[in-house]
């Protein structure tokens, strides 16, 4: 939201949780408090939380005044969504919201999930990655 570019390559060595969400998604809205709590619990650790949305900055700013996130929000992210989304047989985007992509310290997607109440599994996987020596970048 602050206009800075985020390059995933620059985050190697850290665990990255990418969340695709939308201001009109009721499930996304209900997950924000849990995601905020999880982000707070990893403050000061090598974990980065990114919330990407295809919504424009104006819509996102208005939404965030009522429902703030405790991590970096990146609006107008349709191009990134195209890189991560699965496709159906016709080539159409097939992605449930919210969608989660957990990226390990080597920049590889470790876990994909979508829908309601994935925070407990994500939390468990983040802890595993943080404590796993094979995921440390040399």
Contact 111, 133 (CB under 8 A): no
- Percent of the chain clearing pLDDT 70 (strictly above): 91
Q: Residue 5 falls within a domain, yes or no? A: no
Calpha distance 115→97 (Å, rounded): 6
Q: Please give the model's pTM, rounded to 2 decimal places.
A: 0.85
Q: Residue 9 falls within a domain, yes or no? A: no
Q: Residue 122 falls within a domain, yes or no? A: yes
> 25 falls in which pLDDT band (50, 70, 90)?
very high
How confident is the model at residue 132, as a pLDDT?
80
How confident is the model at residue 134, as a pLDDT?
60
> 81 falls in which pLDDT band (50, 70, 90)?
confident
- What is the per-residue pLDDT across 94-126, written as a single tens digit (0 to 9) for each? 888 899 999 999 999 999 998 888 999 999 999
Q: Residue 3 falls within a domain, yes or no? A: no
Range of the domain at 33: 14-133
Q: What is the CATH number of the domain that holds 122?
A: 3.40.30.10
pLDDT over 70 at 136, yes or no: no
User: What does DSSP say about strands 86-87 and 93-94: parallel, antiparallel, or unpaired?
Assistant: antiparallel
């Amino acid at each position: 939201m602050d206009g800075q570019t985020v390059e995933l390559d620059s985050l190697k060595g850290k665990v990255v949780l990418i969340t695709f969400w939308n201001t009109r998604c009721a499930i996304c809205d209900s997950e924000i408090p849990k995601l905020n709590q999880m982000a707070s619990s990893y403050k000061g650790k090598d974990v980065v939380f990114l919330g990407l949305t295809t919504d424009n900055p104006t819509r996102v700013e208005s939404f965030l005044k009522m429902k703030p996130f405790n991590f970096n929000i990146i609006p107008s992210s349709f191009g990134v969504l195209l890189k991560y989304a699965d496709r159906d047989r016709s080539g159409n985007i097939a992605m449930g919201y919210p969608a989660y992509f957990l990226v390990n310290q080597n920049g590889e997607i470790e876990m994909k999930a979508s829908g309601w109440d994935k925070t407990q599994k994500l939390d468990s996987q983040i802890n595993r990655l943080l404590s796993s020596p094979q995921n440390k970048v040399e």
